[in-house]
Structure 1
Amino acid sequence: MTTYTFALLPGDGIGVEVVAQARRVLDAAAELEGLEFRYDEIPCGAKYYLEHGADWPEGSRERCASADAILLGAIGWPAEDGSGTTRRADGRMAGWEAIVGNRAELELYANIRPVKLLPGIQHMISGTHRNVWAPEDVDMVFVRENSEDLYAGIGGVRKIAGRQEVAIDTRIITRTATERIMVTAFDIARRRAAVGRRRRVTCVVKDNVLLGCRLFVDVFHEIGQDYPEVEREVVLVDAFTQWLVRHPEKFDVVVAPNMFGDIITELASALQGGIGMASGCNIGDRHGMFEPIHGSAPPIAGQNRANPMATILAAAQALTWLSDKHSDPVLATAGGRIEAAVRSVVREGQTLTYDLVGTERASSTSEVTTAVIAALKADHAG
């Protein structure tokens, strides 16, 4: 039996809770499918920084690199002086190495975020729960360039008489990084077309103003010529935001530079029931890191209230990715059954957290996970 190793990066706040719940589901799936998982849990994040003066223990990057997949919880914690998030001495957010550092050092150049509305999920519109779209209207994949743009970390500040007067962030768009993200996007569109989805990639930019976006669009069309069966369209990011919430059914695969991709995927999560249902994959040629897109949520940390679904879905996506990487169909079966178990619990609507059903009907984090495991076992038995 092959053993697969997961590096677990629980991080801060509810990240610790949801990673623990995802591990419960992985263990249940492993037992049912005859798999063997090993876990290397690495403490990290802002709270770790406050205690130790470092984002994580020495050698943690190597431990992540040697794992078969990485499962990340959430990074970030309020600064003790109330000035915002805790920052390192160099000005970066505490816990930087576990999230942005891993993306850069492990060459996780593609951030892939599926946005799919599951039957039974209701949208939070103007403070009330009500359905707006049918599940078939919301089924798209966002492909965000993950290694450069404003996240390249190039820039600086200027102080005059001890007062900060200028802050500069330099945006970097390169042909090499753009080419590989475009290939990723068009490959996904081709695979989705094979199962009945529309053949279209939408490129979201601001090329009427920004030079980097013009290069991004040029490469988009160049790579697109190798996929003649896939439609191409370019949409300005400001226009895209309103089309996304008005007509989500029009979109299939969406590709964007790093910063725009970060913003529009957060908006898109509202279409699937909120960030508690939204997961993301950070993928490179050799490594993969999987995570919920929500933050550490300090106000509810330690209260057993957080929605574990996004992290459970991220774990399922890790299994599917590992299946492709290692040609192990059992992993794909396990990942598919975990996703089916989540769909079953959501469709029944009896065991969901407060963000989906409100406080009065809410179940706890651990109760939701228990329900997912029960559905997983029922699916396997049936």
Structure 2
Amino acid sequence: MSSPKNSIKVAVLPGDGIGREVMPACLELIDAAVKLAGAPPVTFDTHQAGAQHYAETGEALPASALEACRTADAILFGAMGWPDIRFPDGTEIIPQLDLRMEFGLFAGVRPIRWFPGLPKVLSDPRAEGIDFVLIREQTEGLFYARGRGEIRDDQEAYDTMQITRAGTERVTEFAFRLAAERKRRGKPGTVTCVDKANVFASMAFFRKIYDEIADRHPEINRDYAYVDALALNMVKKPWTLDVLVTENMFGDILSDLAAGLIGGMGMAPSADIGENHGLFQPAHGTAPDIAGKGIANPSAMFLSGAMMLDWLAVRHGEQNLAEAARLIEAAVEHTLSTGRAIPMEYGGKANCAEMTRSVISSLGAVQKEVA
């Protein structure tokens, strides 16, 4: 943990599409919550990057943006990518993966929580208790093959999965520590290893290392699930889940399924955490179909901002930043549960600006509840 700071510097990359719409809304909310909580001021250093920037300049991730991310206390990311803008080789422009590898952001953190006022995707009333976290290893697994795949004689294609001891140890340790934090807040205190250890040697190795880490945390329950069975149970009884840890590709797929349980990507925040850097972004994409219309749901961006403040609070010993995070979460819940504003995504009438105004105006209403 670093020493307390007089101010916090955040590198901001709005990106493409609706990223450019939800980001200003999030910055306005963070500023209001930080001031209300009496936390150190947060300054925002905004840089352009992404597919649309590449189309305009020929650069997807300028060196100045990369350096700003390297020296900032945290990175706040909108969304990047655009269907019709690609590199000459036809591949997608996704600087978020470059940042992930550049800064060793090994833990993809996807909290999945149902908020009152959201659609009830599952009919079982217990689904209102959905509150779990998926931890996705992000630097290896099947994604290790990115740029390394091989096609032989136009007859065979190979992509190699990489599972290392170091990579698995650090992401599993991260999951157990998170489960311990959640247990202190009344959660079950269980880490489920999600793999396919019955088929692949790499996954059996992943599980072996999981067990070694679990032995160091006897106060936390250990659990196992094959990825296909977990996908079934995530739909049948997601309220029983606590913390899940899994390989990169499995996590990529399961995180989208999980978001569907709470209404969709508009309520799905995420964090990419490394040893020295943290990047925070909504799980949704750039949404070209609605970009520029001002109707995007900013809630996932808001909740990602709250995750950032929580992470900064721990790193810098600033409890007021954590209070600002609680204010944001409570204000989002208050807005949805009271029906003050329901995003168009969920059949309501609130556009991005109206959701932002409602959540900011709710900060004062929830301050006593958070304190």
Scaled by the length of structure 2, the TM-score of the pair is 0.93
For the Cα contact (< 8 Å) 1:115–1:268, is it kept in 2?
yes
Quote the offset at 1:51 in angstroms: 1.8
For the Cα contact (< 8 Å) 1:207–1:214, is it kept in 2?
yes
Is 1:140–2:144 an aligned residue pair?
Answer: no
Q: Which residue of 1 aligns with 2:201?
A: 211
Is 1:46–2:39 an aligned residue pair?
Answer: no
Matches within 5 A, 1:30-179: 30-34=34-38, 35-79=40-84, 86-94=85-93, 96-97=94-95, 99-124=96-121, 132-134=124-126, 137-152=129-144, 153-158=146-151, 166-179=156-169
**Match of residue 376, structure 1, among 358, 363, 369:** 363
Moved more, 227-236 or 132-141: 132-141
**Residues paired across the two proteins, number:** 363
**Segments of 4+ in structure 1 off by > 6 A?**
none
Q: Which residue of 2 aligns with 1:10?
A: 14
Question: What is the distance in 2 between the residues matched to 1:124 and 1:362?
Answer: 20
Quote the offset at 1:378 in angstroms: 2.7
Matches within 5 A, 1:273-284: 273-284=263-274
CA shift digits 1:82-122 (9 cap, x unpaired): xxxx332355421x33x011111111110111111112222
Q: Which residue of 2 aligns with 1:342?
A: 332
Q: Which amino acid letter does the alignment assign opposite residue 364 of structure 1?
A: N
Quote the offset at 1:191 in angstroms: 1.5
Scaled by the length of structure 1, the TM-score of the pair is 0.90
Q: CA RMSD in A?
A: 1.8
Structure 1 residues 189 and 381: CA distance shift in structure 2, 3 A: closer
Structure 1 residues 168 and 46: CA distance shift in structure 2, 3 A: farther
Structure 1 residues 257 and 133: CA distance shift in structure 2, 3 A: farther
Question: What is the distance in 2 between the residues matched to 1:236 and 1:380?
Answer: 42
Helix, strand or coil at the partner of 2:77: strand
Quote the offset at 1:136 in angstroms: 5.2
Structure 1 residues 133 and 266: CA distance shift in structure 2, 3 A: farther
Matches within 5 A, 1:294-373: 294-356=284-346, 358=347, 361-373=348-360
For the Cα contact (< 8 Å) 1:116–1:135, is it kept in 2?
no
CA shift digits 1:203-237 (9 cap, x unpaired): 11111212211111000111101111222121111
Moved more, 228-237 or 300-309: 228-237
Quote the offset at 1:59 in angstroms: 2.6
Moved more, 44-53 or 372-381: 372-381
Tell me, which stretches of 5 or more residues in structure 2 are unaligned? none
Question: What is the distance in 1 between the residues matched to 2:265 and 2:125?
Answer: 17
Larger relative contact order, structure 1 or 2 (CA cutoff 8 Å, min sep 6)? 2
Moved more, 132-141 or 276-285: 132-141
Q: Which amino acid letter does the alignment assign opposite residue 100 of structure 1?
A: L
Question: What is the distance in 2 between the residues matched to 1:227 and 1:313?
Answer: 29
Question: What is the distance in 2 between the residues matched to 1:235 and 1:42?
Answer: 41
Helix, strand or coil at the partner of 2:314: helix
Helix, strand or coil at the partner of 1:299: coil
CA shift digits 1:296-344 (9 cap, x unpaired): 0000001111110000000011001000000011111111111110110
Quote the offset at 1:179 in angstroms: 0.2
Question: What is the distance in 2 between the residues matched to 1:378 and 1:250?
Answer: 32
Question: What is the distance in 1 between the residues matched to 2:52 and 2:167?
Answer: 33
Question: What is the distance in 2 between the residues matched to 1:53 and 1:151?
Answer: 25
Q: Which amino acid letter does the alignment assign opposite residue 254 of structure 1?
A: L
Q: Which residue of 2 aligns with 1:200?
A: 190
Q: Which amino acid letter does the alignment assign opposite residue 92 of structure 2?
A: M
Percent identity between matched residues is: 39
For the Cα contact (< 8 Å) 1:114–1:280, is it kept in 2?
yes
Helix, strand or coil at the partner of 2:261: helix
